[in-house]
Amino acid sequence: MRAFLASSIGVATAAALALPLALPSTALAHPAATRQSAGAGPSAPAAPSAIAGSTQSLPLVPVGPAANRASGVPGMSTSPRLPETRGLPARDVKTFSLVGVVWDDASTRLDGRVQVRTRSVTTSDWSEWQDVETHNSEHAADPDTAERGTGRVRGSTAPLWVGQSDGIEVRVQAEHGDREVSSGLPSGMRIELVDPGESSRPQSDAKNGNANATAEPSPVVDDDDKGELALLPGMTMEMAESSSANVPMAPLGAQEIPALNKADSTADAVLADEALAAAPYIGPRPKIVTRLGWGADESLREKGFVYTNTVKAAFVHHTASGNNYACKDAPAVLRSLYRYHVVSSGWRDIGYNFAVDKCGTVYEGRAGGVAKAVLGAHTMGFNTDSMGVAVIGTFSSTAAPKAAVDAVARLTAWKLGLFGADPRAKTTLRSGGGNLYTKGSNVRLNVISGHRDGFATECPGRLLYNALPPTRTASAKLQGRP
């Protein structure tokens, strides 16, 4: 693997917002990620008209005999010889919208069932008990990589989007799984309650252009001849670093990258650092909402970007966060996923390279430039020379909407085309280590694969996985392949 850390433009300093009732999260992520999470100190002012997101991290405590527990937790044992069970009694908390469980050691399996119920801010009603998918961190950086070896990475369940809530109750019970004897629950289990906050977007003025523009790129201005960016009002250096990675496809501060027809999209190959500018098989570029467009707090992630040699394959995922969201709320879901990946799970950035909502809108994921070979943390063992596309939702028993599947075809036709990859073909990737393939083994995979093809997991859900064969065909057709 040829991977390198790109130089960053700069990083703004800020402290963290202290939240009551919460366990300090400083052990869960790098220092930048904890500045607005629980228990980390006072915060710097947010960008104009923005409300910063937050993370409450609450320890899960041993639960006593069944007679002392709240009744009605479906699927959990009521035997007097109760399997190890941890939880959190029903309690009031600060407003949150997404939940997940984390634990100390990312290499430890969670053989158990996680269930939560939440109280709606809007109705004050408690939900039914809901399962949280215990995917045991298969969405993660590869073993032995710099991102995996920081000491900040934690084991984590899938996140669950519950909408604005102000009450929580949790139960986690050990199960045997495939083992004859349960190994118990991991140490240091905590429930993470994530508030996505509101989007922070810089304003625009006549000098610097329109932050919403998507057509002509604005120049990088050097007002004092010292090589510094002239930022849009309200734009931090971290925002500029992320946004500049997509110039000239869109101007600095753009909230979306415009769609292009097939002929015009061939020029994007130069941005991918590939000598493929004249390659005939590049699909039309879809419209892509930038990180600025969905309101990513750029101060959370590690600065700089990490790249690999090329993009040989696309792994399709589902976020397993549930389908109970409106498309207008997808940016808030993304902000929550991002914060859960960085603050709660300890990753350098959101794990996926792209996300797609159920209405078919495509979003930029991990920072570094949508046309480039950005190293993600989406398919443990196969993050190198691949891209991860996550459809927001859970598609094990619910079919993925046609708009979302079509968007995956459009996105892969363009991005794989930039690197000369045929969506209908197979390719060879070298395993970085996982639970299906030994480290260093060469594995033959479909160019468009499901997460389960590289790791033993249910992801991307049975019904989305079954939609991949026609997606490959549609993607190749968009590339103009015979």
- Taken in order of first residue, the domains within the chain and their CATH numbers are 13-68+80-195 (2.60.120), 271-479 (3.40.80.10)
DSSP per position, 385-411: TEEEEEESS--SSSPPPHHHHHHHHHH
What residue type is assigned to position 199 of the chain? S
Burial 173-199 (b: 16+ CB within 10 A, else e): bbbeeeeeeeeebbebbbbbbbbbbbb
Taking only the tens place, the pLDDT of each residue in 443-473 is 999 999 999 999 888 999 999 999 999 999 9
Q: Is the pLDDT confidence value at 62 over 90?
A: yes
Q: What value does the CA radius of gyration of the chain take, rounded to a whole number of Å?
A: 22
What is the rounded CA–CA span in Å between residue 125 and residue 131?
A: 18
- Token code pair at residue 271: 């941005």
pLDDT in the model for residue 73:
56
Judged against a pLDDT cut of 90, whether residue 44 lies above it is answered with no
Are 389 and 412 spatial neighbours (Cβ–Cβ below 8 Å)?
yes
**Peptide bond connecting 248 to the previous residue in cis, omega within 30 degrees of 0:** yes
pLDDT above 60 for 179: no
With a cut of 50, say whether residue 144 has pLDDT above it.
yes
Q: What pLDDT was estimated at residue 456?
A: 85
Residue 35 has a pLDDT of 34
DSSP string spanning 324-356?
---GGGHHHHHHHHHHIIIIIT--SS-S-SEEE
| pLDDT on residue 289 | 98
Average pLDDT of the residues in 127-139: 83
* pLDDT at position 417: 95
Q: Is the pLDDT of residue 376 over 50?
A: yes
- pLDDT tens-digit series, residues 333-346: 999 999 999 999 99
Q: What does the pLDDT read at residue 36?
A: 41
- Compute the C-alpha angle 144/446/134, nearest 5°: 55
Q: Check pLDDT > 50 for residue 209.
A: no
Partners of 394 in beta bridges: none
The reply to whether the predicted model has a pTM over 0.85 is no
Q: Nearest to residue 297, comparing CAs of 96, 53, 100?
A: 53
Cα(399)–Cα(406) distance, rounded to whole angstroms? 13
Query: What is the SS3 assignment for 191?
Result: strand
Scan for tokens 């997509």, then name that residue. Answer: 246
Q: Averaged over 224-249, what is the pLDDT?
A: 79
pLDDT at 386: 97
Model confidence at 357: pLDDT above 50: yes
Task: Find tokens 């300093």 and name the residue.
Answer: 13
Q: Among candidates 8, 61, 43, 382, which has minimal Cα distance to 191?
A: 61
Q: Is 94 exposed, middle or buried (0-12, 13-18, 19+ CB in 10 A)?
A: middle
Residue 351: per-residue pLDDT: 95
First to last CA, the chain: 32
pLDDT of residue 53: 93
